[in-house]
Amino acid sequence: MSLLALEDITVTFGPRNKPLVTALENVSLSVAENRFSVIVGPSGCGKSTLLRLAAGLDAPTSGRLTLGGQPIEGPSAERGMVFQSYTLFHWLTVKENIMFGPKLKKLPKQNCEDIAKQLIRSVHLEGFEDAYPKQLSGGMRQRVALARALANDPRILLMDEPFGALDSQTRQHMQELLLDIWQERRKTVLFITHDIDEAILLGDEVHVMSARPGRIAKTIPIHLDRPRSIDLLTSADFMSYKREIMALLHEKTQ
Protein backbone atom coordinates (compact mmCIF):
# COMPACT_ATOMS: atom_id res chain seq x y z
CA MET A 1 0.00 0.00 0.00
CA SER A 2 1.36 3.42 -0.99
CA LEU A 3 2.20 5.71 1.92
CA LEU A 4 3.76 8.65 0.06
CA ALA A 5 2.36 9.59 -3.35
CA LEU A 6 3.52 12.27 -5.78
CA GLU A 7 1.16 12.80 -8.71
CA ASP A 8 2.12 14.81 -11.82
CA ILE A 9 4.42 17.15 -9.91
CA THR A 10 5.83 20.12 -11.82
CA VAL A 11 8.05 22.81 -10.31
CA THR A 12 9.06 25.99 -12.14
CA PHE A 13 10.97 28.93 -10.76
CA GLY A 14 12.68 32.13 -11.86
CA PRO A 15 12.69 35.91 -11.37
CA ARG A 16 9.78 38.01 -12.55
CA ASN A 17 9.86 38.99 -16.23
CA LYS A 18 12.39 36.25 -16.99
CA PRO A 19 11.85 32.85 -18.65
CA LEU A 20 10.86 30.24 -16.12
CA VAL A 21 13.13 27.31 -15.35
CA THR A 22 11.41 23.93 -15.06
CA ALA A 23 13.08 21.93 -12.28
CA LEU A 24 10.63 19.00 -12.23
CA GLU A 25 8.11 18.03 -14.90
CA ASN A 26 5.18 15.65 -14.49
CA VAL A 27 6.89 13.56 -11.81
CA SER A 28 4.83 10.74 -10.36
CA LEU A 29 6.09 8.14 -7.89
CA SER A 30 4.89 6.32 -4.84
CA VAL A 31 6.63 4.87 -1.81
CA ALA A 32 4.92 1.88 -0.20
CA GLU A 33 4.70 1.39 3.55
CA ASN A 34 7.87 -0.04 5.13
CA ARG A 35 9.84 0.19 1.87
CA PHE A 36 13.29 1.73 1.37
CA SER A 37 12.98 3.77 -1.82
CA VAL A 38 15.99 5.52 -3.39
CA ILE A 39 16.27 8.27 -6.00
CA VAL A 40 19.37 8.77 -8.14
CA GLY A 41 19.99 11.22 -10.95
CA PRO A 42 22.47 13.68 -12.42
CA SER A 43 23.36 16.89 -10.59
CA GLY A 44 20.71 19.56 -10.99
CA CYS A 45 17.91 17.14 -11.93
CA GLY A 46 15.71 18.17 -9.00
CA LYS A 47 16.33 15.31 -6.53
CA SER A 48 16.62 17.60 -3.51
CA THR A 49 13.72 19.75 -4.73
CA LEU A 50 11.56 16.62 -4.84
CA LEU A 51 12.52 15.70 -1.28
CA ARG A 52 11.82 19.21 -0.02
CA LEU A 53 8.34 18.93 -1.54
CA ALA A 54 7.77 15.65 0.27
CA ALA A 55 8.94 17.30 3.50
CA GLY A 56 6.47 20.15 3.02
CA LEU A 57 9.29 22.72 2.92
CA ASP A 58 8.35 23.82 -0.61
CA ALA A 59 5.16 23.64 -2.67
CA PRO A 60 4.85 22.39 -6.26
CA THR A 61 3.77 24.64 -9.11
CA SER A 62 1.26 21.96 -10.02
CA GLY A 63 0.44 18.41 -9.00
CA ARG A 64 -0.47 16.71 -5.75
CA LEU A 65 1.47 15.20 -2.84
CA THR A 66 -0.12 13.04 -0.17
CA LEU A 67 0.99 11.05 2.86
CA GLY A 68 -1.42 8.31 3.83
CA GLY A 69 -3.97 9.87 1.50
CA GLN A 70 -3.79 13.29 3.20
CA PRO A 71 -2.42 16.34 1.32
CA ILE A 72 1.06 17.52 2.29
CA GLU A 73 0.71 21.23 3.00
CA GLY A 74 3.69 21.97 5.25
CA PRO A 75 6.29 20.41 7.56
CA SER A 76 5.12 17.77 10.00
CA ALA A 77 6.60 15.46 12.63
CA GLU A 78 5.13 12.63 10.52
CA ARG A 79 7.97 13.26 8.06
CA GLY A 80 11.46 13.08 9.59
CA MET A 81 14.20 14.83 7.61
CA VAL A 82 17.95 14.14 7.54
CA PHE A 83 20.07 16.53 5.46
CA GLN A 84 23.62 16.25 4.14
CA SER A 85 24.64 19.01 6.56
CA TYR A 86 24.20 18.01 10.17
CA THR A 87 21.67 20.72 11.19
CA LEU A 88 22.09 19.91 14.88
CA PHE A 89 21.41 22.42 17.63
CA HIS A 90 24.99 23.28 18.59
CA TRP A 91 23.98 24.53 22.06
CA LEU A 92 22.35 21.19 22.96
CA THR A 93 24.06 17.95 23.93
CA VAL A 94 23.63 14.69 22.01
CA LYS A 95 20.90 13.60 24.40
CA GLU A 96 19.16 16.98 24.33
CA ASN A 97 19.21 17.07 20.50
CA ILE A 98 17.52 13.67 20.35
CA MET A 99 14.98 14.61 23.03
CA PHE A 100 14.06 17.89 21.29
CA GLY A 101 11.20 16.50 19.19
CA PRO A 102 9.56 14.39 21.92
CA LYS A 103 9.77 17.35 24.34
CA LEU A 104 8.16 19.60 21.71
CA LYS A 105 5.31 17.06 21.55
CA LYS A 106 5.05 17.43 25.34
CA LEU A 107 5.72 13.79 26.08
CA PRO A 108 6.42 13.01 29.75
CA LYS A 109 10.05 13.57 30.74
CA GLN A 110 10.67 9.88 31.42
CA ASN A 111 9.34 8.97 27.97
CA CYS A 112 11.73 11.49 26.39
CA GLU A 113 14.61 10.05 28.42
CA ASP A 114 13.72 6.50 27.39
CA ILE A 115 13.48 7.41 23.68
CA ALA A 116 16.88 9.14 23.79
CA LYS A 117 18.51 6.25 25.65
CA GLN A 118 17.19 3.67 23.18
CA LEU A 119 18.25 5.67 20.12
CA ILE A 120 21.68 6.50 21.52
CA ARG A 121 22.19 2.77 21.86
CA SER A 122 20.86 2.14 18.33
CA VAL A 123 23.34 4.59 16.76
CA HIS A 124 26.23 3.42 18.99
CA LEU A 125 26.84 6.70 20.83
CA GLU A 126 26.88 5.36 24.38
CA GLY A 127 29.23 7.49 26.45
CA PHE A 128 28.63 10.62 24.32
CA GLU A 129 25.23 11.55 25.75
CA ASP A 130 26.53 14.80 27.24
CA ALA A 131 28.85 15.78 24.37
CA TYR A 132 28.11 18.80 22.18
CA PRO A 133 28.10 18.60 18.36
CA LYS A 134 31.42 20.47 18.04
CA GLN A 135 33.06 17.68 20.06
CA LEU A 136 31.93 14.97 17.61
CA SER A 137 33.28 13.72 14.29
CA GLY A 138 31.23 14.13 11.11
CA GLY A 139 29.98 10.55 11.22
CA MET A 140 28.97 10.89 14.87
CA ARG A 141 27.07 14.10 14.16
CA GLN A 142 25.17 12.40 11.38
CA ARG A 143 24.31 9.54 13.73
CA VAL A 144 22.83 12.12 16.11
CA ALA A 145 20.87 13.67 13.22
CA LEU A 146 19.48 10.24 12.31
CA ALA A 147 18.54 9.51 15.93
CA ARG A 148 16.89 12.92 16.27
CA ALA A 149 14.77 12.28 13.16
CA LEU A 150 13.73 8.87 14.48
CA ALA A 151 12.87 10.22 17.93
CA ASN A 152 9.54 11.57 16.66
CA ASP A 153 8.63 8.11 15.33
CA PRO A 154 7.82 9.58 11.88
CA ARG A 155 5.71 7.69 9.36
CA ILE A 156 8.41 8.28 6.73
CA LEU A 157 12.09 9.21 6.89
CA LEU A 158 13.30 11.61 4.18
CA MET A 159 17.08 11.55 3.67
CA ASP A 160 18.83 14.03 1.35
CA GLU A 161 22.32 12.67 0.55
CA PRO A 162 22.95 12.23 4.28
CA PHE A 163 26.35 10.58 3.83
CA GLY A 164 27.59 12.76 0.96
CA ALA A 165 29.97 14.84 3.12
CA LEU A 166 31.60 11.84 4.81
CA ASP A 167 34.85 10.10 3.88
CA SER A 168 34.47 6.71 2.19
CA GLN A 169 35.21 4.61 5.28
CA THR A 170 32.83 6.57 7.51
CA ARG A 171 30.22 6.49 4.76
CA GLN A 172 30.46 2.71 4.62
CA HIS A 173 30.01 2.47 8.39
CA MET A 174 26.94 4.73 8.18
CA GLN A 175 25.42 2.63 5.40
CA GLU A 176 25.83 -0.51 7.50
CA LEU A 177 24.37 1.26 10.54
CA LEU A 178 21.38 2.50 8.55
CA LEU A 179 20.77 -0.99 7.16
CA ASP A 180 20.78 -2.39 10.72
CA ILE A 181 18.38 0.28 11.99
CA TRP A 182 16.06 -0.14 9.01
CA GLN A 183 16.06 -3.91 9.43
CA GLU A 184 15.08 -3.41 13.09
CA ARG A 185 12.48 -0.66 12.69
CA ARG A 186 11.26 -1.06 9.07
CA LYS A 187 10.59 2.65 8.68
CA THR A 188 9.40 3.85 5.29
CA VAL A 189 12.36 5.71 3.73
CA LEU A 190 12.81 7.98 0.72
CA PHE A 191 16.55 8.42 0.23
CA ILE A 192 18.39 10.71 -2.21
CA THR A 193 21.91 9.88 -3.36
CA HIS A 194 24.26 10.37 -6.32
CA ASP A 195 26.12 7.17 -5.38
CA ILE A 196 24.87 4.20 -7.44
CA ASP A 197 26.48 1.60 -5.16
CA GLU A 198 24.76 3.16 -2.16
CA ALA A 199 21.40 3.22 -3.96
CA ILE A 200 21.52 -0.49 -4.83
CA LEU A 201 22.87 -1.53 -1.43
CA LEU A 202 20.13 0.26 0.50
CA GLY A 203 17.09 0.29 -1.73
CA ASP A 204 14.09 -1.92 -2.36
CA GLU A 205 13.70 0.07 -5.56
CA VAL A 206 15.73 2.76 -7.31
CA HIS A 207 13.99 5.61 -9.14
CA VAL A 208 16.32 6.92 -11.87
CA MET A 209 15.78 10.57 -12.81
CA SER A 210 16.62 12.32 -16.06
CA ALA A 211 18.52 15.59 -16.35
CA ARG A 212 16.56 18.82 -15.90
CA PRO A 213 13.68 19.08 -16.23
CA GLY A 214 13.69 16.16 -13.83
CA ARG A 215 11.44 13.22 -14.65
CA ILE A 216 11.35 9.62 -13.46
CA ALA A 217 13.06 7.78 -16.32
CA LYS A 218 12.61 4.33 -14.82
CA THR A 219 11.96 2.58 -11.51
CA ILE A 220 14.13 -0.49 -10.98
CA PRO A 221 13.09 -3.03 -8.30
CA ILE A 222 16.14 -4.37 -6.41
CA HIS A 223 15.72 -8.09 -5.78
CA LEU A 224 18.64 -8.67 -3.41
CA ASP A 225 18.08 -10.65 -0.24
CA ARG A 226 18.01 -8.88 3.12
CA PRO A 227 19.72 -8.42 5.47
CA ARG A 228 22.39 -6.85 3.26
CA SER A 229 26.03 -6.03 3.80
CA ILE A 230 28.88 -4.29 1.98
CA ASP A 231 29.99 -7.69 0.68
CA LEU A 232 27.18 -7.47 -1.90
CA LEU A 233 29.07 -4.80 -3.86
CA THR A 234 31.12 -7.40 -5.73
CA SER A 235 28.30 -9.86 -6.50
CA ALA A 236 27.19 -10.54 -10.08
CA ASP A 237 23.59 -9.44 -9.39
CA PHE A 238 24.78 -6.18 -7.83
CA MET A 239 27.01 -5.41 -10.82
CA SER A 240 24.13 -6.14 -13.20
CA TYR A 241 21.94 -3.54 -11.45
CA LYS A 242 24.81 -1.08 -11.47
CA ARG A 243 25.36 -1.44 -15.23
CA GLU A 244 21.64 -0.92 -15.88
CA ILE A 245 21.47 2.25 -13.76
CA MET A 246 24.71 3.67 -15.19
CA ALA A 247 23.43 3.09 -18.74
CA LEU A 248 20.17 4.87 -17.93
CA LEU A 249 21.95 7.84 -16.36
CA HIS A 250 24.29 8.10 -19.34
CA GLU A 251 21.36 7.95 -21.75
CA LYS A 252 19.32 10.54 -19.84
CA THR A 253 22.15 13.10 -19.64
CA GLN A 254 22.88 13.02 -23.39
pLDDT less than 50: residues of the chain: none
Render pLDDT for 146-170 as a digit per residue (tens, 0 to 9): 999 999 999 999 999 999 989 999 9
Q: So what's the pLDDT on residue 136?
A: 95
177 and 142 assigned to the same domain: no
The residue range of the domain holding 95 is: 88-153
Last-in-domain residue among 108, 123, 153 = 153
Task: Give domain status of residue 210, yes or no.
Answer: yes
42 and 9 share a domain? Answer: yes
Residue 29 lies in a domain: yes
Beta strands in 36-167, from DSSP E residues, in sequence order:
36-40, 62-67, 70-71, 79-82, 156-160
pLDDT of residue 254: 59
Helices vs strands, H then E, count in the chain: 7, 10
pLDDT of 205 reads 98
Do 210 and 143 share a structural domain? Answer: no
Which of 137, 153, 169 represents a domain boundary (last residue)? 153
- Structure pTM? 0.94
**Number of separate domains in the chain:** 2
User: Is 173 found in the same domain as 70?
Assistant: yes
**Domain end marker among 122, 153, 184:** 153
SS3 114: helix
Same domain, 179 and 220: yes
Q: Which residues contact 14 (CB under 8 A, 6 or more apart)?
A: 20, 21
pLDDT tens string 28-46: 999 999 999 999 999 889 9
